[in-house]
């Protein structure tokens, strides 16, 4: 089960995670089974855990340590056996240092830490990732995008991808929508990739150098 922690406020997040009883709050017209209960003897992924509030983190810490929780609006304690995986797109160490993330929860979650490098740090992965997205978007339709030209692939490998993997995915989807349907070409790529800006320094007076930026 996956919980998108960053898209919900505290109250909604607790309702999604713990579930709620009918009548627990305005609009609670039925009993709701939360993600924790559904993930019993399985895995619960807490995405964007860095976006949660310290108050929510305190309650989450108890769930992780004790393996028990109460549904919103209920007095009954429920036991669960769940493996937790938390994902953060920001440094939790820095958030602990500035007191926006609980230190005790951080150390409780950080049993096995995996650092995933950004896309710009692994350009050699681009070909395989692009082929994956081509398969995702093209499906079984033979008229859709099927391959990538060497020039286009080289451009994508040299690009720094400030928007990370999501940006790469969007570029492939864009090429499928507006570009050549059989092969992804440089002309199918957005200008920031196919025509990157270059900066040069004009020779001359060393006390004042002129910078020019242009697109090749």
Can you give the residue range of the structural domain that contains 186?
119-194
DSSP classification of residue 8: S
Are 65 and 96 members of one domain?
yes
- Please tell me the distance from the alpha carbon of residue 177 to that of residue 194, in angstroms, as a whole number: 17
Structural domains counted in the chain: 2
Tokens (6 digits) for 59:
């309650």
Give the global pTM. 0.64
Q: What is the pLDDT of residues 143-191, one digit of tens each?
A: 666 688 999 999 999 999 998 889 999 999 888 888 766 788 898 899 9
Among 70, 86, 109, residue at a domain's last position: 109
**Cβ proximity of 57 and 105 under 8 Å:** yes
- Say which range, 32-36, 140-144, 192-196, has the weakest mean pLDDT: 140-144
């Amino acid at each position: 089960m996956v919980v998108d922690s960053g898209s919900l406020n505290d109250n909604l997040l607790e309702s999604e995670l713990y579930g709620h009883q009918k009548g627990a709050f305005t609009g609670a017209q039925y009993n709701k089974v939360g993600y924790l209960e559904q993930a019993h003897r399985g895995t619960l992924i807490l995405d964007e855990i860095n976006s949660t509030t310290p108050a929510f983190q305190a309650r989450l810490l108890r769930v992780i340590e004790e393996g028990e929780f109460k549904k919103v609006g209920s007095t009954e304690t429920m036991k669960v056996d769940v493996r937790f995986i938390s994902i953060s797109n920001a440094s939790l160490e820095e958030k602990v240092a500035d007191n926006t993330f609980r230190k005790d929860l951080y150390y409780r979650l950080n049993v096995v830490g995996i650092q995933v490098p950004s896309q710009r740090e692994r350009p050699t992965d681009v070909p395989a990732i692009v082929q994956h997205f081509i398969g995702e978007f093209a499906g079984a339709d033979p008229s859709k995008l099927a391959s990538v030209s060497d020039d286009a692939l080289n451009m994508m490998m040299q690009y720094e991808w400030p928007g990370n993997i999501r940006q790469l995915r969007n570029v492939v989807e864009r090429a499928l929508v507006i570009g050549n349907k059989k092969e992804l070409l440089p002309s199918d790529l957005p200008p920031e990739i196919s025509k990157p800006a270059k900066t040069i320094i004009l020779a001359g007076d060393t006390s004042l150098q002129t910078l020019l930026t242009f697109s090749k």
